[in-house]
Every structure is written in structure tokens, then in C-alpha cells.
Amino acid sequence: MDRLFAPWRIEWVERDDDGEYDCPFCGLPAEEPGDDRENNVLVRGDRAVVVLNNYPYNPGHAMVIPREHTGDYRDLDDETLLEHARLLGRTVDAVDAALEPDGFNTGTNLGGRVAGGSIGDHLHTHVVPRWEGDTSFMPVVADTTVIVEAVAKTYDRLHDAFARQDGTSTPDDGAVRLDRGH
């Protein structure tokens, strides 16, 4: 049997799930802003948020998530679509500035659980940085992915990169807030 030590996952296993939200993506924007670092919320907009993935494919794997609970892109109004698109671009810029990847994969999960892994019916767009040679023998031979940086460290790097972007402000303990002029 192969074992991969991942102690950070115990937080997910032991989480206090009070059932207030059926969808974890709906719960994130409702959490207190002071809990943003703990919840990996990098940016809060009026209509969307940027969250660092708890179980990344690569360091810097983030998601842009509309606040509206829908699995259908066509349900989003124009203002939400615009903010989502702008946050997608800003996320690529922040990851590029903080981690200097060689490229990116982006993709929007639509259509419910079949498209969104363990998150059903709440669309979200993944931003996954890629580096030349980041696919090693581990996924091929051992069906295992190695993440080379702790999620908390990546959060700090991306949080700082978002905070440096024009039009943002940030408290020390929370997500970057969007300046409505940008």
C-alpha cells in the first residue's frame, strides 16, 4: 500500500460542519472577513471571490467563484460575469507575479457535480499555474501528485501579489477588497 503523508487534510476531516450551507462555496463569502486567511479567501468582490484551493493540483491553484449559487454560466447577470472575468485576469496576474509559472491552465466547472468534482451545482473557474517539467514520474508511476509548497505559504505569496495590484486595499488579517473603480 502506498502512503502519502498529508497532515493538513485533518482539518477537512475534523471540520465542524453545522449544515448551515449545503454548498461550501456559498459559505465562504458569508464567513467573517477576519477568517479569510483560515478559509483561503484571497479577494472579496461584490459578486465573486477568489479562493486558494485547499487541495491544489499545483502551488498557486486558485478558484474564482461567483457568489451566486448556480451551475449554469447563463444564469449569471452581466455585472457578475464582468467581475468574474476581471477577477480571473487579476488572479492570473497575481499568480504570475508571485510564482512566475511558465503557463496556466484555466477552466470553468459547469453542469453540477459531474463537472465540479466534489462541489456540485456551483460553478467556479480554476486557475492552475504550470511549469515546464512539472509533470514528473510520480503521477505516471505512482498515481500521486507532489505539492512542493504548503498552502499557507502560497496564500501569503498570492495575498501579497493581489495587495500590490492597483486598486486594492487589504487588512493584515483578511482578503483583498476590490476597488470599485477598477
User: What is the per-residue pLDDT for 112?
Assistant: 63
Q: Does residue 175 fall inside a structural domain?
A: no
User: What is the per-residue pLDDT for 152?
Assistant: 86
Q: How many structural domains does the chain have?
A: 1
Q: Does residue 2 fall inside a structural domain?
A: no
Along the 182 residues of the chain, how does pLDDT read in single tens digits? 566 666 766 665 565 655 555 788 888 777 677 788 888 999 999 999 999 998 888 899 999 999 999 988 999 999 999 999 999 999 999 999 999 999 999 999 887 666 656 676 889 999 999 988 776 555 545 555 666 678 888 898 899 899 888 655 555 556 676 655 44
Instruction: Please answer whether residues 151 and 11 qualify as being in contact, where contact means their C-beta atoms are separated by less than 8 angstroms.
Output: no
Q: Of residues 84, 122, 124, 159, which has the active-site annotation? A: 124
d(CA 19, CA 126): 25
Which residue type occupies 38?
E
User: What is the per-residue pLDDT for 58?
Assistant: 87
Helix or strand run (H / E) with residue 28: helix 24-30
Q: Does residue 32 fall inside a structural domain?
A: yes
Q: Is 122 a catalytic residue?
A: no
User: What is the per-residue pLDDT for 182?
Assistant: 45
Strand order, beta sheet including 168-169: 103-109, 124-130, 62-66, 48-52, 41-44, 176-178, 168-169
Q: Does residue 181 fall inside a structural domain?
A: no
Q: Domain of 115? A: 7-169
Instruction: Please answer whether residues 37 and 176 qualify as being in contact, where contact means their C-beta atoms are separated by less than 8 angstroms.
Output: no
CATH number at residue 105: 3.30.428.10
User: What is the per-residue pLDDT for 174?
Assistant: 66
User: What is the per-residue pLDDT for 145?
Assistant: 63
User: What is the per-residue pLDDT for 51?
Assistant: 95
Q: Does residue 15 fall inside a structural domain?
A: yes
